[in-house]
């Protein structure tokens, strides 16, 4: 059984880093536990934050620049699926039409 990775939003990642900064009395592992994430995950986000001058790059499924980009991607998938269904129907009609 495969384990699915949870996708965290960019805002959640930035909030986690701010939480760590606002609670200097807590260790990194205590902060990670309070946030429900792994210590290595929090450490990676902090490293990315430092390396990218206060920003965290996001990529992968579900991380879109805006709601419009997300909607465009959804519509493109829907169009592709509809075109695939249409191609199957055309083939079925041509096969059935020969008889």
Does residue 1 surpass a pLDDT of 60?
no
Task: Provide the whole-model pTM.
Answer: 0.55
Count of CB atoms situated within 10 Å of the CB of 13: 20
With CA atoms as reference, report the closest residue to 34 among 13, 18, 20, 48. Answer: 20
Structure tokens at 79: 């169009």
Q: What is the DSSP letter of 61?
A: T
70-82 in b/e burial notation, b at 16+ Cβ within 10 A? eeeeeeeeeeeee
Query: Does residue 39 register a pLDDT over 60?
Result: yes
Task: Tell me: pLDDT of 2 over 60.
Answer: no
Closest to 16 in 3D by CA, of 28, 1, 4, 3: 28
- Where is 13: in which H helix or E strand? helix 10-22
């Amino acid at each position: 059984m495969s384990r699915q990775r949870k996708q965290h939003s960019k805002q959640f990642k930035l909030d986690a880093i701010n939480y760590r900064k606002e609670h200097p009395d807590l260790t990194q592992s205590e902060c990670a536990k309070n946030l429900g994430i792994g210590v290595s995950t929090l450490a990676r986000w902090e490293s990315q934050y430092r390396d990218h001058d206060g920003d965290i790059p996001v990529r992968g499924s579900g991380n879109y620049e805006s709601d419009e980009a997300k909607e465009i991607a959804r519509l493109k998938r829907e169009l592709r699926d509809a075109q695939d269904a249409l191609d199957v129907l055309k083939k079925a009609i041509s096969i059935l039409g020969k008889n």
